[in-house]
Amino acid sequence: MNAQSKEMTETSAPTGRRINMIEAINEALDTMLARDPDVIVMGEDVGYFGGVFRCTAGLQEKHGKTRVFDTPISECGIIGVAVGMGAYGLRPVPEIQFADYIYPGIDQLISEAARLRYRSATEYIAPMTVRSPFGGGIFGGQTHSQSPESMFTHVSGLKTVIPSTPYDAKGLLISAIEDNDPVIFFEPKRIYNGPFTGFYDKPVEPWKKHDASVVPEGYYKIPLGKARQVQEGEALTVLAYGTMVHVAEAVAKDKGIDADILDLRTLVPLDIEAIEASVKKTGRCLIVHEATRTSGFGAELSALVTERCFYHLEAPVERVTGFDTPYPHSLEWAYFPGPVRIGEAMDKILKD
């Protein structure tokens, strides 16, 4: 029994209510708005309209305009005022409409939110959760497809969380909102409606056909810093997060490879114990992410695995990533680290 199904049997039956990732995120926000009067949701188009991806639909009507509201188009302002609200004692949950547009707010995130607890020796903290849709595979072109997670994992003082299922999205988002450290919560928009497998010419199944769409109503948490065992296997370890969890899973199934797949869920702090245990068991490791290769988070994972599992490794650690180019529009499927690239890497690792 994997960790996911274990958690689910504890909270609800697999035959329970099924929702997609957008609805799960909406429920997490709704639950926390109801539970904690200091939670504030804000961002471009999140108020009356309910968000361009519907993640905040209905929340303003239910919780009021001073709890859920629209903001000017200013990422620097959105994150800057959130830091000030945190200093007051609120628990803001700002949204950045696309991760590609988080850069104007990056000074406020890196220089302020991430450092505030440290530089004030805990006098002030920034208990905020920055939600932002990220990742490609949707013909989003250069500025609606990026995966900038390594820009944040490199910053001491920030936590970075990326869910891959509706069940995780709700539980992890509730944990992130309750966490007293600033959290970057990247939502893989490619899998908002269904678990995309990377086989772009096949229709995408909706979440309702997937067990991880069984999501309890009300409050529950998934701890930050804990990976999810997607499937157990002996042949090789796959480290992935977000959309790429589903792609790697589908490729392993397609090729009949007995892969041990870990969905990291939290990049900082990282579940190093789960990674070490898996790689020491299989002796082989494949790292998969959509982000560009050079200095991507995969480099950190590869270094950690090599440093900590060196004498257990039977093949070099491989990385399957996006190419070191801006995200192209027309050549989306040539760029996307899909089944062919992952399959070749798996073959290469297993050949040695």
Catalytic residue positions, numbered: 144
Contact in structure between 47 and 65 (CB atoms under 8 Å): yes
Contact in structure between 68 and 92 (CB atoms under 8 Å): no
299 is a contact residue toward other proteins (CB under 8 A): no
103 is a contact residue toward other proteins (CB under 8 A): no
Among 6-14, 46-54, 104-112, 184-192, the segment contacting other proteins (CB under 8 A): 104-112
Q: What are 318's strand-pairing partners?
A: 286
Contact in structure between 29 and 93 (CB atoms under 8 Å): yes
Among 10, 13, 72, 330, binds other proteins (CB under 8 A): 72
First to last CA, the chain: 30
Site residues (CB under 8 A) for other proteins, limited to 256-295: 268-270, 272
CA-to-CA distance for 242 and 179, rounded, in angstroms? Answer: 21
CA-to-CA distance for 178 and 240, rounded, in angstroms? Answer: 25
Nearer to other proteins, 120 or 142 (CB): 120
43 is a contact residue toward other proteins (CB under 8 A): no
Which of the 8 DSSP states describes residue 217?
A: S
66 is a contact residue toward other proteins (CB under 8 A): yes
Q: What sign for the dihedral angle of Cα 253, 254, 258, 259? A: negative
Site residues (CB under 8 A) for other proteins, limited to 123-152: 123-125
**Among 269, 271, 270, 279, CA closest to 261:** 279
Binding mask 223-242 for other proteins (x = CB under 8 A): --x-----------------
Nearest distance in Å: CB 270, other proteins: 7
36 is a contact residue toward other proteins (CB under 8 A): no
Distance of CA 307 to the CA centre of its chain: 25
CA-to-CA distance for 183 and 173, rounded, in angstroms? Answer: 9
Nearest distance in Å: CB 74, other proteins: 5
Nearest distance in Å: CB 150, other proteins: 15
Nearest distance in Å: CB 152, other proteins: 14
83 is a contact residue toward other proteins (CB under 8 A): yes
Task: Give the Cβ contact number of residue 51 at 10 Å.
Answer: 24
Q: Which two tokens stand for residue 178?
A: 């309750």
Q: How many residues line the site for other proteins (CB under 8 A)?
A: 46
Chain contacts with other proteins (rule: CB under 8 A): 40, 66-67, 71-72, 74, 76-77, 80-85, 87-90, 92, 104, 107-108, 111-112, 115-125, 156-157, 159, 179-181, 225, 268-270, 272
